[in-house]
Amino acid sequence: MARTVTGESAGVFGSYTSQVWPALAAPTFPATGVPVTNPSTTAIQAVIAANGATITNVSVNGVTVGAGAGTYTVPGQGFISCAYTVATPTWTWSVPVSFLAAVNANGTPVSVTGVS
């Protein structure tokens, strides 16, 4: 869904259209070592919080990318898995800001920063 805004926003005067991304519902955190697929064709960011767990491995598409809480990018149709003990971590999923785009009223692309 696109939205058109008139006025000044992010230093752009006039009307511009920005892509509005819906909030993503993160799936339930899986059992240790079980991969979860990103069903979207767009990359997502998975922000993992330890929540008392001892995280020993985070893999994306079968490649180790970390060993602790943090932010991990999962490509569209890719998968992520996490090895942990003691407790179950938690996570949130979102679309990276780099995937947001805007154009001004003349159709010229503009940079979007500080998106919240």
Tell me the pLDDT tens digit for each residue of 77-114. Answer: 999 999 999 999 999 998 865 554 554 555 555 555 44
Please count the structural domains in the chain: 2
The residue type at 55: I
Do 1 and 53 reside in the same domain of the chain? no
Do 11 and 67 reside in the same domain of the chain? no
Range of the domain at 3: 1-21+100-116
> What is the CB-side half-sphere exposure of residue 9 using CA atoms within 13 A?
21
Residues 6+ apart with CB under 8 A from 31: none
Do 32 and 89 reside in the same domain of the chain? yes
* Residue pair 76/24 in contact by the 8 Å Cβ criterion: no
- Overall pTM surpassing 0.75 (yes/no): no
Do 35 and 85 reside in the same domain of the chain? yes
Do 16 and 27 reside in the same domain of the chain? no
Do 14 and 69 reside in the same domain of the chain? no
Inform me whether the pLDDT recorded for 57 exceeds 90: yes
Do 63 and 86 reside in the same domain of the chain? yes
Do 92 and 108 reside in the same domain of the chain? no
